[in-house]
Structure 1
């Protein structure tokens, strides 16, 4: 095992994730007037459907109080709606508004732009192989972490 941080797998993954996220955040703020966290929230709700606030916090890997503040801002700006769960009025269900649905394509374009920048110099075959490798790493670690 190498002690050189520049070659350590975990360090590289974390650093690439940080840089990728910062670049996405910069582009999203300037073109969508949304933060990366807000875009992630909208994307998760689009992908997984309506869910309660606690489950969304788990998906986002943030504390419930942080998710609450994030959802407050999204709701104030008309991106999401929070309604009482008819089966449990203590629980809030979060859903996307039509305004949020309309921004999803633009948010995906921002992601595509960051991906193009990140993979500059890769051949299409290398980019596909890299994606497949990362999917395998996720498949290897997912069951171990999500017990």
Structure 2
């Protein structure tokens, strides 16, 4: 195989990976939309709940920044999440302003949420069982690096 053929093959495989990642993003978006519909949450509500669960407790401003939302939009999202029993707003003990609050995810409804994702989690467990430890490490590295590239691209776009 020539160098030119090798380069073409590499570009073709790389393009296929990018296409697969876009298709995966679409499919996961559809899954999340179905989960949100079952829980009577908007897509943005579910996204914010995930951020608070993963990185919280957070101030509403910090959550808005992470989610790429306007603070006024965040107020509506938090109102819906709080009414649904998903989050609590609590006074920030380290805040310099008495009005400062932190948003904390509540765990009471987690079984309901996890149950809706159980089909996907089971499918992933079966899929991952077919890979050895080195292959899993490679996949994990690729996904972490891809996530970081996405985070950086998002930050670049949000700056202007």
TM-score, length-normalised on structure 1?
0.65
Q: Is the 8 A contact 2:88 2:103 kept in 1?
A: yes
What is the CA-CA distance between 1:90 and the residue it aligns to?
5.0
| Contiguous gaps of at least 5 residues in structure 1 | none
1:21 aligned residue: 29
Distance in 2 separating the partners of 1:78 and 1:123: 36
Matched, 1:135 2:151: no
- Cross-structure match for 1:101: 107
| RMSD of aligned residue pairs (Cα, Å) | 3.6
Higher strand share: 1
3-state SS in 2 of match to 1:78: coil
Matched residue, 1:124: 130
Q: Is the 1:39–1:107 contact (alpha carbons within 8 Å) kept by the matching residues of 2?
A: no
Equivalent of 2:41 in 34, 50, 53: 34
Superposed CA deviations along residues 46-94 of structure 1, whole A, max 9, x for unmatched, are: 3323211010112223222222211111122333222454522454322
User: Any unmatched runs of 5+ in structure 2?
Assistant: 1-7
In 2, are the aligned partners of 1:20 and 1:118 still within 8 Å (CA)?
no
TM-score (norm 2): 0.61
Looking at structure 2, the residues matched to 74 and 134 of structure 1 have their Cα atoms a distance apart, in angstroms, of 29
In structure 1, the residue corresponding to 2:103 is in which secondary structure? Answer: strand
Change (3 A) 1:82 1:113: same
